[in-house]
């Protein structure tokens, strides 16, 4: 699968080709990109790239990705499209659904990609067959707004915005405990847990990366929980969930980083069987226009949200 684009860098900025391409296509490791270079699958200005080549502003790049063997079928899965133009679509993702396929049993079924292939039949693919135009992702149990690109041009441009942190993503979360400070800031290094690579940690992590989270307390619930608005200043895996757990205020319903006893209480009272985390707002500038989308909570979160106490 081949894709072509121009390098959007600052005037004097220079990046090594493997670092630049792997930063754009975050689902690809640098080792994978280096392997593509060795196989002469990357070109700069119509010349085969070498591992030491540099990318400069407006260089023309083409990348031919290896085709994955996984077959993905379209499925008639409900998909809430809240906005669409010729460049992108905004989807309000449901909980309990993966954004893209995963490499285990039945991992290529009942994902947003399967739904997109059914509802947006014009979508082509980028990178590999099972991930068409997915610019960013949300955890399986997290609901909310997500961007779907509709062309090579918009895919590349939105990825550049993402890499430069020019896309604003805001979440709503309910955490255990009463946070007395109206505003807060969490900064730490996050990486894979040395004993369990499926989870992230701030304690002696593997391959740690700096993570920054800003939040504002909006309301309290039952004098036991805090509703917070969260702005991500960096985008690390499970960042919000790990950060709030690390300061003693885990998200209710979180089966990985939360408190099992409280999760059970929340389920018994509100029938909430997943974490209360919703990406409710996203804003960015694209092709000379400003966009901002705010969308309501999913039904399973509203029963808790409706009990808020204004502060």
Helix H, strand E, coil C: the string for 283-307 is: EEEECCEEEEEECCCCHHHHHHHCC
* pLDDT at residue 1 in the model: 66
Q: Does 39 share its domain with 97?
A: no
Q: Does 200 share its domain with 236?
A: yes
Q: Does 205 share its domain with 246?
A: yes
Residue 43: CATH number of its domain: 3.10.290.10
**Residue 191 DSSP SS3:** strand
Q: Does 269 share its domain with 194?
A: yes
Question: Is residue 88 within 8 Å of 29, Cβ to Cβ?
Answer: no
Does residue 125 form part of some domain? Answer: yes
H/E stretch holding 23 reads: helix 17-24
Backbone angles phi, psi at 249, to 5 degrees: -130, 70
Q: Which residues of 142-156 are buried (b: 16+ CB within 10 A; e: fewer)?
A: bbbbbbbbbbeebbb
The whole-chain average pLDDT of the chain stands at 87
* Three-point CA angle 220, 252, 98, nearest 5°: 130
Lowest mean pLDDT among 24-33, 61-70, 290-299: 61-70
Q: Does 196 share its domain with 109?
A: no
Does residue 70 form part of some domain? Answer: no
Does residue 73 form part of some domain? Answer: no
Top pLDDT among 167 and 163 is at 167
Residue 253 pLDDT more than 80?
Answer: yes
d(CA 17, CA 303): 50
Q: Does 191 share its domain with 118?
A: no
The closest of 239, 223, 214, 141 to 176, measured between CA atoms, is 223
pLDDT, mean of residues 124-143: 69
Q: Does 287 share its domain with 181?
A: yes
Q: Does 221 share its domain with 208?
A: yes
> Which pLDDT band, with edges at 50, 70 and 90, does 75 fall under?
confident
Q: Which residues are catalytic?
A: 139
Q: Does 193 share its domain with 234?
A: yes
DSSP letter, residue 100: S
Does residue 69 form part of some domain? Answer: no
Does residue 229 form part of some domain? Answer: yes
Number of domains comprising the chain: 3
> Which pLDDT band, with edges at 50, 70 and 90, does 4 fall under?
confident
Distances (CA, A) of 60 to 25, 38, 151, 192: 16, 19, 17, 35
The boundaries of the domain holding residue 26 are: 2-64
% pLDDT > 90, the chain: 54
Top pLDDT among 108 and 171 is at 171
Does residue 98 form part of some domain? Answer: yes
Specify the pTM: 0.75
Q: Does 218 share its domain with 283?
A: yes
């Amino acid at each position: 699968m081949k894709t072509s684009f121009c390098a959007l860098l600052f005037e004097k900025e220079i990046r090594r080709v493997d670092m630049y391409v792997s930063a754009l296509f975050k689902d690809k490791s640098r080792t994978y990109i280096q392997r593509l270079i060795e196989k002469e699958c990357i070109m700069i200005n119509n010349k085969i790239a070498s591992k030491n080549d540099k990318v400069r502003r407006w260089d023309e790049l083409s990348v031919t990705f290896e085709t994955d063997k996984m077959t993905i079928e379209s499925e008639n899965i409900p998909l809430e499209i809240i906005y669409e133009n010729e460049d992108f679509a905004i989807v309000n993702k449901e909980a309990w659904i993966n954004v893209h396929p995963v490499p285990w049993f039945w991992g290529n079924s009942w994902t947003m990609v399967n739904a997109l292939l059914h509802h947006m039949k014009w979508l082509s693919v980028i990178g590999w067959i099972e991930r068409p135009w997915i610019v960013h992702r949300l955890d399986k149990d997290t609901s909310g707004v997500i961007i779907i690109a509709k062309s090579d041009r918009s895919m590349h441009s939105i990825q550049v915005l993402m890499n430069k942190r020019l896309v604003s993503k805001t979440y709503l979360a309910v955490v255990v405990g009463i946070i007395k400070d109206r505003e807060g800031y969490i900064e730490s290094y996050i990486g894979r847990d040395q004993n369990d690579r499926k989870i992230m940690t701030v304690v002696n992590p593997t391959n740690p990366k700096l993570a920054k989270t800003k939040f504002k307390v909006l309301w309290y619930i039952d004098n036991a929980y805090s509703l917070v608005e969260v702005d991500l200043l960096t985008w690390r895996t499970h960042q919000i969930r790990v950060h709030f757990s690390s300061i003693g205020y885990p998200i209710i319903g979180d089966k990985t980083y939360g408190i099992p006893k409280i999760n059970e209480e929340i389920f018994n009272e509100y029938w909430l069987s997943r974490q209360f985390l919703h990406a409710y707002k996203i804003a960015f500038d694209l092709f000379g226009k400003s966009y901002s989308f705010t969308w309501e909570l999913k039904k399973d979160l509203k029963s808790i949200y409706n009990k808020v106490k204004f502060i």
